[in-house]
Amino acid sequence: MALFCAAGSLLGSGCSARDRPGASSFAEGPEPPSASLEARPPAESTSTRPHLCSQTADPFMVVLEQSVAPGSRFRVLAVSESSLGGLSASTAKAGLSVLHRPLHSGPPFAVVYQGRAPRDPGPLPVRLVDRRGRQRACVTVTVSSMAPTPRPAPVTGVWRIRRGWHDGWERVFSAWIAHLFRPLAGQPSGWRPLHRVLRLPRRNLLHDRLGHREDDYTSRVKVQAWADCGDTPYQLRAYFAWKMGLPFRYRRCSRGNSIRGPRCPVRRDNTTAEFDRLANPVRRFNAFIRQGLAWWVHSGTLRTLPEDEGSDFYPIRLARGSIRPGTVFVDVSGHALVVTQWDHRGLFAIDGHPDMSVTRRRFSEKHFRYFRGTRTGGFKAFRPLKLVGGHVVPVPNSALRRFFSVEQYRFASRAEFYRRMRLLLATSAG
């Protein structure tokens, strides 16, 4: 693995260029058709079983523990495009307390509630209600009398896809990123390597969710995430998708340049059978991100053109509601940052470096470099994915109208871009 960062230039290589012949067996060929996908598919529903909740798209709720034992504590994350102030979560017998507010200023907004499971096993509906007692959302906690059994690796593929991306899961992803990298008094604002922050239960809402002690410092087999700037957004997205059973995909691309972008003829997703030889699901995930993803993803991978509907990212509007935790900023000279937070002090992000360290940045012209006349950089979001006919399929631009925009590429000068950003920052500061 190359551990150097080439000097940034508009036409040169960036911070994560690597060459390794014959490293993987990617699927090649044309993308499966994706015109039938929607940008906002309905959330999963359990309405066919009357004793369980029927999920809504907004607010959206998810149980953070995969297994809940009788009498144990559990956490529920609620996310929404609207403020969650004035809402409370409760079961039929007791209220839940507010544990964290990962996104108290949004959109999106997010609140983590904590409760205790009853002594008797069975389904436990958790309802989110307003001050008038009207239900706004509901999720079912399954309290099991059986000791939790970690799920084994699937027969084939890195992990099983249990659901597709939709707006609710995108908000959960934003909340997870914001909580993971939030500033804490007396705590470091940088880590080396990336997996060090994933091993902190205080920060990682998905810590050991899969039951394999996959994030435990003392575990014999744990997640190993080493990422420079190009790898960082991908490894964070892959980790989240693995934990939540969502599809994940990336492409092998040329370096390209700031004007025409890269060529990306090859792709791989989490259904690949290349790592089936590894029985341990944590080892299989580590191989997926380190022997495949880390070798082929680089800063040039993110320099795709807006019309590339097979790309891993798409450009977004310059608005407070679309630049959210988990989106990226692509510097076309060869760097990338992941947005982590808006607050009264400004916009913050993290970026990876050639020494595999991860540091926190505040928005400035120095760290968020805009180049007029290019259409390959700027703020971008991960393109949602669905499983269609056994294929992991990207959502087309026509279904992304809520956030998709090329307005970043229409400024007549760099100064206009930064004026627009200062206005957004001033609005966020109140």
Please give the order of strands across the beta sheet that includes 27-28.
27-28, 266-269, 249-252
Q: What is the mean pLDDT of residues 301-328?
A: 95
How sure is the predictor about 45, in pLDDT bands with cuts at 50, 70 and 90?
very low
For the stretch 94-104, pLDDT in tens is 999 999 999 98
Instruction: Tell the residue number behind the tokens 């009264």, with chain if given.
Output: 344
271: tokens are: 């259904």
Tell me, rounded to whole angstroms, the distance of Cα 33 from its chain centroid: 24
| pLDDT recorded at residue 15 | 59
Q: What is the mean pLDDT of residues 139-166?
A: 91
How sure is the predictor about 331, in pLDDT bands with cuts at 50, 70 and 90?
very high
First to last CA, the chain: 45
Contact 295, 18 (CB under 8 A): yes
**pTM for this predicted structure:** 0.90
Higher pLDDT, 136 or 46: 136
CA dihedral 15, 21, 26, 31 (to 10 degrees): 70
Torsion angles phi and psi, residue 233, rounded to 5? -60, -40
Contact 312, 301 (CB under 8 A): yes
DSSP conformational letter for 268? E
* Cis geometry, peptide bond prior to residue 108 (ω within 30 degrees of 0): yes
Distance, CA of 257 to CA of 346 (rounded, Å): 30
For the stretch 280-300, pLDDT in tens is 999 999 999 998 898 889 988
How sure is the predictor about 41, in pLDDT bands with cuts at 50, 70 and 90?
very low
Of 42-56, 220-234, 339-353, 381-395, the poorest mean pLDDT is in: 42-56
| pLDDT recorded at residue 51 | 56
Of 22-36, 240-254, 324-338, the poorest mean pLDDT is in: 22-36
Q: What is the mean pLDDT of residues 202-226?
A: 96
167-180 helix and 231-244 helix, angle to the nearest 10 degrees: 120
Mean pLDDT for all residues in the chain: 87
Residue 14 C-beta-side C-alpha neighbours within 13 Å: 32
| pLDDT recorded at residue 430 | 54
| C-alpha distances out from residue 100 to 77, 169, 228, 244, 418, Å | 9, 18, 29, 20, 33
Nearest to 40 by CA among 64, 54, 53, 58: 58
| C-alpha distances out from residue 130 to 6, 36, 249, 271, 394, Å | 54, 36, 38, 41, 36
Of 32-41, 250-259, 360-369, the poorest mean pLDDT is in: 32-41
For the stretch 163-198, pLDDT in tens is 999 999 999 999 999 999 998 877 777 899 999 999
Distance, CA of 263 to CA of 342 (rounded, Å): 33
| C-alpha distances out from residue 340 to 32, 304, 363, Å | 32, 22, 11
Report whether pLDDT(374) > 70: yes
Instruction: Tell the residue number behind the tokens 């804490």, with chain if given.
Output: 184
Higher pLDDT, 379 or 299: 379
